[in-house]
Structure 1
C-alpha cells in the first residue's frame, strides 16, 4: 500500500518505472512544466521538480530546508523491511543528534565537516589499492560460483559493505555482523549495539578511518558520533551495490556499450558518470521545504511548500542530455544529479566513483563475454523506502 490519502492519481509518483526505464509520465511532466503538483503522505500538496536546471536550482538554494521531512505519495508499494523495534534512549538521542540529513545551515556544516575528510577525492584515491583488492577477491567468488551466479549477492553487495567497513573503521572481526545488520537488515537496537562495539574497539586501537577521526574530534558528543556512524552506515552503501548491479544490467542490455568498455577499460571512469546518470536510484531525493517565497524558473514556490526533486527525471531531461533515454558510454555526463547537489549532495560520492570504477573495470577485463541471464530490474518492483528510491535486485549473469 502507498499510505497516501489520495489513492492513485496524476499527482503521485508513478509506479510503472524500472531502474533503466523510467515511467513515461516523467517525460510527459517535463514537457508540461518544470514543477508539477505532488501529493505527500501527510496530506500536504507540494510540487515535484522534473527538469534539470530547476532541480539544480532547488538543491543548491539555502532557502529550502530539510525540515519537515514529508514523504511523497507513490503508486508503487514500499518494500517491507525489518521492523525497527524499540531503541534505547542513547540510540534515540544519537539518531536525533547525528543525522545530518535533518539539519540545515551551520549545524549541518559542523557535522558534515566532521566526516568529509575521509570521503574526499584525495582520501578515496588512497583507498584505491585496497578497493581493487576487494573487487578482485569478490570477482573470484563470482567466477567460482559459475555461470548463472547472482552478481548482486556475490559481487555488488560484498564490495559495497566491505569498502564501507574499511573506510568507517569497522574492525574485521565485526565485518560479518556488520554485513548482516546493514545489508540484510536488523532491528535498530541491534544496529546501534554493533556500532558501539566498533567505537569501543577504535578507542583502544585507533586507525586512519572515520570512527577514529570522530573520536579525536573534541567538538562532537558521544551521541553525535554514534548518530553520524549510524547515518553513514544506512546511507551510500546501498547506492553502490545498486549502481554496480543496475549498471551491469544497463550495459548488458546494450551489448555494444559493454563491448566498447571491454575494448578499452580506460574508458570506464568516464563511463561511470553516464551509468549513474542512466541508472539513477532516486525517484526523488529527500524533500525540501521553502522557508520563504522562492522563484524557480517562472514559478514562485510559496513559503511552507514542500518540494521534491526527481533526480531520475532531471537526469533524463533532454534539455541537458540529448537523447537521454539511450545509454551512451561515450557521452560526457558530468554534472548529472545522481548524487544530488549543493550542501546536501552525497558526502561519499568520490569514494563511490572509485568503487564503481574498479568494479566495472574488473568485469569488462575479466569477463568480456558476460551476458545477462535474468533480473527483476525488467519489471516494476516495490520502492526501497518512502523517499522514494529503487531497491537493488538480483542479477543473474553468465559468461
Structure 2
C-alpha cells in the first residue's frame, strides 16, 4: 500500500485519522485531514479533548460534577426549614394562651395588656408577625423567654451544648460496637450464634427507652450496685471530665436504644458486600480473607452505615427527651418539654427551629458523604435526588464503590 509522496504514518498514529485513503476525503484520508486544517477553520492544539479540558476558565473556578445536585439538596433543605418555621409559628400563635397576659400575670389590667400586645406586635396580621419573627431569627435574636424573661439564646446555648455532648457520647459508644459485632455476625451468618444474636437484637429493639432507663437506675443507682448517680445534674461551674459519672446512665440508655439498628444495618450491608462479584474476584486473586474483609468489604459496607449514623443522630436530637427527663439531664429535649408545659412560645419556636436546622444539616452531610464515597456518583455529571443509583448506594452500599484492587 502506497501513501502520499514522502509521507509515512507514525507507527502509533490513530487509525481513524491515518487509515486507508477514501475516495472522497474520508476521515482517514489526507484530503479530509487537510480540509479539517483549512485556513478558514481554527486549528486545534493538544490531543483529543485537551482543548476543552484546558479552556480559558481557571481550574479553581471549575465546580465538581455533583455541585448542581448539592445545590438542589441545599435549596430543598432551606425550603423544609422555611415550611417548618411557618407551621411552628402559626401553630403556636393559634394557641388560646395570650403571651402578654402570661408575662404580666392574671392581675394586670386590660389596658396594660393591650399596650404590651401592641409593643410585641401581636395585634398585626399573622403574615407581618411571621415576617417580623423570621427577621429576628435570621439576625440571631431568638427573643426572650416568657417564663424567666431571659434571652432564649442564653438559655439554649448551654442546653444545646449538653445535648451535643450526650449525642457524641452515644455515637462514640454505639458505633464501634455496631461495627465490630456487625462484621463478626456477618462473617458467621446463619450460624447458631448469629441467629441468637439477631433474636436478642430484635427483643432489645422492642423495649421502650424509658424501660431501659428505669432498669439501669434500679441496677446501678439503688440497692443492687449503687455505683452511679440516678440524676445527671451537670454543674456548669465544674469541668466535664470530673462529671463523667453523670453521663454514664443516659449514654447507656440511648446507646442500647440505637445500637441494635446500627448493628443489624452493618451486618446486612456486610453480607451484601461479601456476596458481591468484587469480593468473589478478590478471593480468586488469592487475596487473604482478612484483607478482603477490612480493606475491600468494610469500606463498601460503611456507605449505608453513614445513613444509619445520620438516622441515629436524628433520633438522638428528637428522641433523647425520655432519657433527659428520667435522669434530669439538662438537655434541649427537657428544655422543650418544660417550655411546652409553661406555654413559653418564644422558647418553643426557637428550639423547634434549631432542631429542624440540625436535622436538615445532618441529612445533607450524610447524603454528601455518601456521594463522595461512591465513585460512580461522585464523578457523575448529573445526580438525581431520587435516582436508582443513589437509592441503591444508600440501601446496599455496593456496586458503585469499587474495591481497591480493581482501581
Per the normalisation by structure 1, the TM-score is 0.34
Which structure has more strand as a fraction of its residues? 1
Structure having the higher Rg: 2
Structure scoring higher RCO (CA < 8 A, sep ≥ 6) equals 1
Per the normalisation by structure 2, the TM-score is 0.34
